[in-house]
Chains A and B, each alone.
Chain A
């Protein structure tokens, strides 16, 4: 479906054809759910948050100025929603699994230094491990790597969605990738 169709549907919804919004939801729900799921690594939580995001989007539809792509606008609502949710949750969060080692904050976790499986890169195990590692990423890296390397958005789109300038997008992508790469290396995955 092209972006033009998004706008057509949105106009219909604004004009009162609420049912038309189901096309928007169906088009984006997988993407939104996955983003949320990788953020929180909890299926049920992700279901609730995804639902909330679509409600927010539908209710805010009037304020969509059509200056950017609809998807970009939707993603920024999604990103902010997750951020706010995380903030809210952090207030009640349990004991952090992080310890200070010298200057660095280090995750307390069991290291898995198995040998790199020589066959395919992508298998069930590696998927499980990378999901674990994504969920443990610092928030800034998690946001950006999900948008860039899972969803495949452009640097420009990410800059709009996260509301940071292009050079910051680049820096964050570099750092996030380096961080994740090192984590995956430590777990013997790459």
Chain B
């Protein structure tokens, strides 16, 4: 029997068979004669027995497989959709007249976009309206579409899209976006599902005071 008691690490390694043959030999021979270390060894081995018994403990759980696949499928669909939206926006779709978009994302009728956006009927309606008004679509997001139009077509657009919440601002110079009041895109209380769709005098004046013939609109779905 060696004089020094075994370290806990040695007992642990012994139980895990992590010792060299020689170390193992020494430890075992110590344990057989030293009561203190023998007890320590017993304690740890009981502890490990208890732990490993948990491996076989029977806990009733549901089968996760079906739900996992179902959730992943629906999340994938959603992801594909979300992926498509910025791609559409980044391509800065320009619609001239009734001309249709011919990027890879769209088929000839443009119905791909419509089919993949939420509230796709709304989207299609907005796109068609914009394109019918010689407008340009700047951005399409899940919530809204930004478009740029001739000042003269605003009233017509409003008429068609009266059910959509429309925000707008003016473009003074090339590409510069300025709102009459704040100089940025903001809600100037155009139409919110309201029956009155024609521009009143105040609004007309608003437009007239801006030296621009283009208006930018944010059309909410």
Binding site for B on A (CB under 8 A): 18-19, 21-23, 25-26, 29-30, 33-34, 37-38, 43, 47, 50-51, 54-55, 58-59, 121-122, 126-127, 130-131, 134, 145, 149-152, 155, 170, 173-174, 177-178, 180-181, 184-185, 189-190
Contacts and interface: CB of A to CB of B under 8 A. Distances in A.
Contacts of B62: 47
B59 A34 contact: yes
B65 A22 contact: yes
A184 B50 contact: yes
Contacts, number: 117
Contacts of B71: 51, 55
A185 B44 CA distance: 10
Contact of B68 (A21, A127, A155, A170): A21
Interface string B64-94: 1111110111011000000000000000000
B64 A29 contact: yes
B53 A26 contact: no
Given A26-B63, A145-B51, 4 more contacts: A22-B69, A34-B55, A121-B46, A190-B42
14 contacts: A18-B69, A21-B69, A22-B65, A23-B65, A34-B55, A47-B61, A55-B68, A121-B50, A122-B53, A173-B16, A174-B8, A184-B46, A189-B46, A190-B50
A156 to B, nearest CB: 12
Nearest to B42: A190
Sorted nearest first, the 5 A-B pairs with minimum C-beta distance are A22-B65, A25-B65, A149-B51, A54-B68, A190-B46
A152 B61 contact: no
B54 interface: yes
Given A59-B75, A185-B43, A121 B49 contact: yes
B73 A18 contact: yes
A17 to B, nearest CB: 10
Contact of B52 (A23, A58, A149, A189): A149
Q: Which of A145, A178, A189 has the most CB of B within 10 A?
A: A178
B202 interface: no
A71 to B, nearest CB: 15
A21 B65 contact: yes
B160 interface: no
A29 B75 contact: no
